[in-house]
């Protein structure tokens, strides 16, 4: 089931964005969406019935000028966006996720997880954590791990909470969409390999982050983050040229109308360029791949309130639109 938010004005920054849409009972197709909520089917515009959003990204330097021109054409065949279902905007081959990348969030976690026997006042422990974060920003490296594309779902689709997930939590994130193969690129050139940005909600079951059977193994991101539908994505890919500065975008997540996360990307420890560069040092990033940049303070663990059946999450990021997803408990058959 899809639960669309009320139309926002404008839908996104800039004159157009990329989407993956479908008509009722029809196949998904790549679409150009303009700021007035009209849609051009890119299969028709590009003369390719097999075209996908990822294939457009694989030829991004050539496709982008054609998309600009198409957005400017008054004669282009258009349909109302309201006539279509909105899917995740791209099917990536790789999803790279970042943890511990928002300064205030990590400080809060540091303070909340008091070491047994540490009786220092909160102010002292908070100051210590702030010093550690400042040192990380100048001396350390981002923390990146791998997610599964099968966890991705649409921006308005229901999110099924698995019966085994005891503490499902939200994590709204800025997602980077790669537009050129990138391997061992420098920080200075990293943004040249980015096609655009979208919204991701990187859900996590907090109860399974750490292995209970063998704690020395450490984190279990497969179990805690990769259930089907645990990464609502979209609604759009907004081109880089329409987002002037990723260093000051507002991320806001509301749970049943109540604001839980509300923070600027200014609070990032490692910015987009550093994240992309770092990820490319170990792996080759491919067109359509996603680099998730971490989540700010205000997760469910902070509030002592985790996701439940019937909850509705509204997530938005400056210039990138908004997504709305409803939580549905998994039906367990005996």
Which pLDDT tens digit goes with each residue over 13-61?
Answer: 999 999 999 999 899 999 999 999 999 999 999 999 999 999 999 999 9
Q: By percentage, how much of the chain surpasses pLDDT 70? A: 96
The pair of structure tokens assigned to 70 is: 């198409």
Which DSSP helix (H) or strand (E) runs through 122? helix 122-139
Which one is predicted more confidently, 4 or 143?
Answer: 143
Which one is predicted more confidently, 123 or 258?
Answer: 258
Q: Which of 98-102, 142-146, 209-213, 231-235 has the lowest mean pLDDT?
A: 209-213
Work out the pLDDT band at 75, boundaries 50, 70, 90.
Answer: low
Rg of the Cα atoms in the chain: 20
Residue 320's closest CA among 237, 258, 224? 237
* Helix residue ranges, H only, 154-261: 221-225
Please compute the mean of the pLDDT values over residues 103-127 and round it to a whole number: 78
The class that CATH gives domain 95-101+142-329 is: alpha beta
Strands 290-292 and 95-99: parallel
| pLDDT the model gives residue 317 | 98
Q: What is the pTM of this model?
A: 0.92
Q: Is 333 exposed, middle or buried (0-12, 13-18, 19+ CB in 10 A)?
A: exposed
Which pLDDT tens digit goes with each residue over 276-295?
Answer: 999 999 999 999 999 999 99
Query: Does the pLDDT at position 1 exceed 70?
Result: no
**Residues whose CB is less than 8 angstroms from the CB of residue 240 and which lie 6 or more positions away in sequence, other chains included:** 191, 194, 195, 196, 197
Query: Does the pLDDT at position 275 exceed 70?
Result: yes
**Structural domain boundaries in the chain:** 95-101+142-329, 103-140
Greatest pairwise CA separation for the chain in angstroms: 71
């Amino acid at each position: 089931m899809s639960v669309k938010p009320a139309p926002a004005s404008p839908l996104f920054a800039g004159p157009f964005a990329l989407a993956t849409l479908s008509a009722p009972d029809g196949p998904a197709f790549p679409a150009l969406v303009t700021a007035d909520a009209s849609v051009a089917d890119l299969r028709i515009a590009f003369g390719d019935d097999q075209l996908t959003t990822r294939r457009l990204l694989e030829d991004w330097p050539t496709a982008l000028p054609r998309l600009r021109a198409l957005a400017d054409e008054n004669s282009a065949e258009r349909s109302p966006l309201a006539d279509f279902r909105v899917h995740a905007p791209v099917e990536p081959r790789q999803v790279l996720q970042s943890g511990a990348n928002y300064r205030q969030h990590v400080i809060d976690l540091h303070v909340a997880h008091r070491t047994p026997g540490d009786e220092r006042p909160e102010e002292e422990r908070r100051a210590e954590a702030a010093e550690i974060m400042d040192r990380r920003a100048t001396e350390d490296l981002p923390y990146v791990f791998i997610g599964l594309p099968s966890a991705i779902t649409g921006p308005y689709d229901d999110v099924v909470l698995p019966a085994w997930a005891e503490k499902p939590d939200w994590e709204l994130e800025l997602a980077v969409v790669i537009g050129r193969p990138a391997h061992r690129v420098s920080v200075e050139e990293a943004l040249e390999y980015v096609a655009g940005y979208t919204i991701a909600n990187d859900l996590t079951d907090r109860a399974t982050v750490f292995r209970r059977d063998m704690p020395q193994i450490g984190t279990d991101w497969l179990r805690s983050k990769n259930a089907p539908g645990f990464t609502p994505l979209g609604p759009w890919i907004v081109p880089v040229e329409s987002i002037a500065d990723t260093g000051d975008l507002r991320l806001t997540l509301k749970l049943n109308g109540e604001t839980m996360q509300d923070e600027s990307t200014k609070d990032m420890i490692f910015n987009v360029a550093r994240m992309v560069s770092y990820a490319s040092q170990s792996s080759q990033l491919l067109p359509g791949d996603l680099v998730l940049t971490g989540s700010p303070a205000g997760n469910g663990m902070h509030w002592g309130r985790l996701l439940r059946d019937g909850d509705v999450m509204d997530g938005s990021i400056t210039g990138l639109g908004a997504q709305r997803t409803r939580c549905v408990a998994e039906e367990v058959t005996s």
